[in-house]
Amino acid sequence: MIVKFVKCHGSGNDFPLIDARDIVLDDAGWARVARALADRAGDVGGDGLLLLTPCDDENIFGMRMFNPDGSEAETCLNGLRCTARLGFEVTGTDAGQVRLKQSAAQARAVAPIAAGVTTIETKVGPVSLVPGDVGLTGGAAPFVDAPIPGLPSDRAFTAVAMPNPHLVAFVDAVDEGELVTLGDWCEAGPALIPARANVSFVELRETGHAPALFVRTYERGVGLTDSCGSAMAASTLAAARTGRIGWGVETRVFNRGGMVRATAAVGDIVTIAGNATFEWDGEIEVDPATGAVGALRILGRREEEVAAWDAMLAGL
């Protein structure tokens, strides 16, 4: 089949995004499409595949996200902003509830975080700190800034389901080798957390009225990544839960891909405002039965959007 898509990114987390509202394809087929299109060795590449899916009685549209390995994520907040933008454009709306795999989120278009940078705000929660919801097979009480028995690390973690599982540790300085070692262990699906988990090391870089976090994440199904939206949200919540930032205080959250503005509210609800940048439009033939792809055709480039994002990064 020939699919049209938008190559987009949220905070540097990049994806092909397909309007799949009228496409009938089973999960195995979408998994093969995701592995083909998100392959960094291919013509498109990405941190996964985003799908805009139809509305229902409670949601103005839906989103699905498949990782590069073909697994489906419960959510992807950087991808949600991009998907919501496309959904708003094709439905003529600017706010509403979006269906995710196992939950829903509120999304709306808001004022740009920088000149020319299309910005979407998402609100998720209440999220869960119940160990079973995070996928941990041990422990009854939430792990909040505490060691997790059975994890091959002595660090204190906060375990939170966004609803995808996150383990967040605050560090003085990120050690990528340590992060990758722990991420690889979780990626193997050990008995402690058989569905795997996203692991983040977080630096608190500023405090007071203008706090800032720097987040480095090993993403489930992806590996070490420059950006993970749900990890930024989980880190913001963990910072509030542990008293490192205040509840209701807007926080700048950085990663190697860019920056978002995040707020954690009492009741474990997290709001994030960040970019939803469309880079170019394309179409490609892909066989869902085999994952074979044909030649890529670029239909148009969004050069002004790319330039606006680059200007924002230069000013950080």
Q: What are the pLDDT digits (tens) for 55-73?
A: 999 999 999 999 999 999 8
CATH superfamily of 131-267: Diaminopimelate Epimerase; Chain A, domain 1 (3.10.310.10)
Each domain of the chain, given as residue ranges in start order, spans: 2-122+276-314, 131-267
| pTM (whole model) above 0.85 | yes
Identify the band that residue 139 occupies on the pLDDT scale cut at 50, 70 and 90: confident
Does CATH number 3.30.1120.80 belong to domain 2-122+276-314? Answer: no
Res. 109: pLDDT tops 90: yes
The confidence score (pLDDT) of residue 114 equals: 92
**Beta-bridge partners for 202:** 170, 215
In this predicted model, which residue has the larger pLDDT, 13 or 200? 200
Q: Map residue 274 onto helix, strand or coil.
A: strand
- Mean pLDDT (the chain, rounded): 95
Q: Does the N-terminal peptide bond of residue 126 adopt cis geometry, omega within 30 degrees of 0?
A: yes
What's the CA gap between 241 and 161, in Å, rounded?
14
Active site residues: 76, 228
Residue type, 11: S
Identify the band that residue 106 occupies on the pLDDT scale cut at 50, 70 and 90: very high
- Does the fold of domain 131-267 match that of domain 2-122+276-314? yes
Average pLDDT over residues 168-189: 97
Res. 154: pLDDT tops 90: yes
Average pLDDT over residues 120-138: 94
